[in-house]
Structure 1
Amino acid sequence: MIKKIVIISNLRMLMLFFLINDTSLDKVFFIFDNNIKIPINIVNYIRVRKSRNKLELIWNAFYYLIRFHFLCFKLGINGKKLEVYGADHITGAKFFLKRYNFILIEDGTINYSLNAYVRSIKNRLFSIPSYGVHKNVSKIYLTKSDNIPSCIKDKVEVIDIKELWNKKHDNEKVDILRMLNVNIDSILKLKGKSYILYTQPLSEDGVISEEEKIKLYENILQSYDLSRLVIKPHPREKTSYEDIFKGAYTFRDNIPAEILSLLDIEFEKAITVFSTAVLQHSKENIVFYGTKIHPKIYHHFGDVKL
């Protein structure tokens, strides 16, 4: 009998789910965003696709309404008590948000951006709120205690990733690493490096141009020795950092950045514009520029700072 539905928008969210819960898969059904590589030992799942235009938005709303009604019937969960974890904003999530107790898991910096909670008149008339505002969201797990929007503050429980990891038994840690497709040999290549830059899909998401993004990172890195630098691109990025910063090591493994710290890979400096990935590092080692570094980024996300 399925007891939990887990709606996942990225692998970091999957990691947080397994840290918050146990690693048993017996009574869990997953709904994955289409861009995620599915762990081989997860068999109870479906994928959902994003809407690229208004026509697809209308079609997907109809398609997933029918599909999820059928899924609930097939899984025997119609009208049953059920907990839903994960993202409330991706395709199909609203079906479960309106019907079941929802426990939101941090998606990233978007959860701290005030702009994400501003709703237009059109949105208020034809949609329901996302990012934990809806009345059926009973709890929100975040990893950062600063800059939590007031509209969700009463629901938030701040979690410490390393503390949760240390509470896991060794077999559970192995399960988590396996489900996240972690390659230990690849990670060991990072030992001896001094700095790590966590980049973000700012051009891919249309916030700034590709040229503006490259220039931004060139300015940030001009005072660092590239031979001692690791660049950790976001999984959705298409930028060829290997060709732009040739002295640096570009780490392309698609794993949550926090895994590095959990496996005792440490750096003197963790650098980012505003990625929450740096929060795994000691505060004194973090170089966090914030959204005010570029007017277009600030306009899009609002004021995000450490």
Structure 2
Amino acid sequence: MKERIYVCHTFYHVYIACLKELDLPGAKRGQAALVLSTMSNDFGDLKARAECSGLFRQVFIFDEKEEHFFPVLEKYHRNRGNLLLHMLSRMRFCKLLGKLQEPYVPVDFRQYQDIYVFCDSDPIGYYLSWKKIYYHALEDGLDCIRYYDTARYDNRGHFRLKAFLASKNLIFIQNGWGKYCLDMEVNDISVLDYPCPKYVECPREKLAERLTEADKDCLLGIFLENKKKLVEQLAQGDNHENKILVLTEPLCDLKTRERIFRDIIGLYGKGAQVILKPHPRDVLDYEALFPDCVVLSGRFPMEMMNFLPDIHVKKVISVFTVPSSIRFAEETVFLGEDFMDKYEAPEIHRQNEQIK
């Protein structure tokens, strides 16, 4: 039986998978497989660079399909007007969504001793539960459950009943509530308002602190398509003591998104050189709309900038991306829900406040 396999949906997921592999003794490295799901992310040439790194035995591309790809599933979302009928419909939906993924799954997961899945709310979680394959779940983003507990939000009303049904594999609930989820790895349990018996804590910062210079070079080789260009972009301009980095996110519609980041630059960018780091799923054309800013590639996790020499900015500003892992800035600014209230209805982004 093969040792480990990681199912990743974002660059950040791959970064955490790499940290976990680099935390192992040298003799155990290079034995794991990596699965890159293209459902919501374009990984570009990452597969080739990961294969060349020596950190992974194999790298697979997974053409994971959203539920909307299968029209047959639509009927299971109709309002039955009755809790029992709704649960019966949901039972059928969960099993069928898992089954429909099978033609697209690129690897036999039963061959692996340990399966690590980021964001098991995606169809891969339904697939593994349908196949009755045990796996480890991992937090989608840094401390993301603190701000959006998707398992409890998606299952508001009769949560205990739904959690019981999930524990029997009659329905599926993500983030540690499914029968075949062995545990749910999070960065910091102390910041989470709602408990889950399967939560296990693995601080990301401790993994990063253990990296050697060779490990950092390995990570930079995996994630940076053009390290020289990035270093040159970050060195542009004369006002080095007053650089700010704005992390974009795929918020709202495109016009509102443009207004959000124009407002952020207006608030924090006066007299500063503004650098924009687009989110990988953000399709707004920042180079065209913000010609006075330095626009970086979106195809690498921001943590890579921690490993570049002589990189320093005065402030990093984000809306919902948790910036606590950034070590190249004097100050980090997390704008959060109060800021977003000005741009969309509060109930859209204040999910945890609606959990009962």
TM more than 0.5: yes
8 Å CA contact 1:228, 1:248 repeated in 2:
yes
* Structure of higher CA gyration radius: 2
TM-score (norm 2): 0.69
Q: Is the counterpart of residue 51 in structure 1 residue 66 in structure 2?
A: yes
Q: Is the counterpart of residue 229 in structure 1 residue 277 in structure 2?
A: no
8 Å CA contact 1:7, 1:84 repeated in 2:
yes
1:61 pairs with one of 98, 101, 117: 98
> 1:92 — aligned with what?
124
8 Å CA contact 2:125, 2:174 repeated in 1:
no
Matches within 5 A, 1:1-306: 1-22=1-22, 24-34=29-39, 35-37=41-43, 38-40=46-48, 41-42=50-51, 43-51=58-66, 53=68, 55-56=70-71, 58=73, 61-65=98-102, 71-72=107-108, 77=111, 81-97=113-129, 98-108=132-142, 110-114=144-148, 116-117=150-151, 118=153, 119=155, 124=162, 127-143=171-187, 147-152=191-196, 155-161=199-205, 163-188=206-231, 189-191=233-235, 192=240, 194-202=243-251, 208-223=252-267, 224-225=269-270, 228-264=273-309, 265-277=311-323, 279-281=325-327, 285-295=331-341, 296=344, 298-302=346-350
- What is the CA deviation profile of residues 168-214 of structure 1, one whole-angstrom value per residue up to 9, with x for unaligned ones? 33433333222223532122121336100001001xxxxx2222222
Q: CA deviation at 1:92?
A: 2.1
8 Å CA contact 1:106, 1:140 repeated in 2:
no
Aligned-partner Cα distance in 2 for 1:107–1:194: 26
TM-score (norm 1): 0.79
Aligned-partner Cα distance in 1 for 2:349–2:197: 19
**RMSD, aligned CA:** 3.4
- What is the CA deviation profile of residues 8-65 of structure 1, one whole-angstrom value per residue up to 9, with x for unaligned ones? 0101111111112238333425252342424204344131333262735747633324
Question: Bigger CA drift: 20-29 or 286-295?
Answer: 20-29
Question: Bigger CA drift: 114-123 or 5-14?
Answer: 114-123
Compared CA separation, residues 276 and 33, structure 1 to 2 (3 A) = farther
Question: Bigger CA drift: 18-27 or 135-144?
Answer: 135-144
Counterpart secondary structure, 2:136: strand
- What is the CA deviation profile of residues 247-290 of structure 1, one whole-angstrom value per residue up to 9, with x for unaligned ones? 11111241001111232522111101111245424896111111
8 Å CA contact 1:33, 1:90 repeated in 2:
no
Question: Bigger CA drift: 270-279 or 143-152?
Answer: 143-152
Long gaps (5+) in structure 2? 52-57, 74-95
Long gaps (5+) in structure 1? 203-207
Q: CA deviation at 1:239?
A: 0.9
Counterpart secondary structure, 1:21: helix
Aligned-partner Cα distance in 2 for 1:138–1:277: 29
Aligned-partner Cα distance in 1 for 2:322–2:145: 10
Identity value in percent: 15
Counterpart secondary structure, 2:333: strand
Amino acid of the residue matched to residue 249 of structure 2?
Answer: Q
8 Å CA contact 1:195, 1:269 repeated in 2:
yes
Aligned-partner Cα distance in 2 for 1:233–1:110: 19
Amino acid of the residue matched to residue 270 of structure 1?
Answer: V
Amino acid of the residue matched to residue 246 of structure 2?
Answer: L
8 Å CA contact 1:10, 1:107 repeated in 2:
no
Amino acid of the residue matched to residue 333 of structure 2?
Answer: V
Compared CA separation, residues 102 and 251, structure 1 to 2 (3 A) = same
8 Å CA contact 2:67, 2:123 repeated in 1:
no
Alignment coverage as a number of residue pairs: 294
Bigger proportion of residues as helix:
2
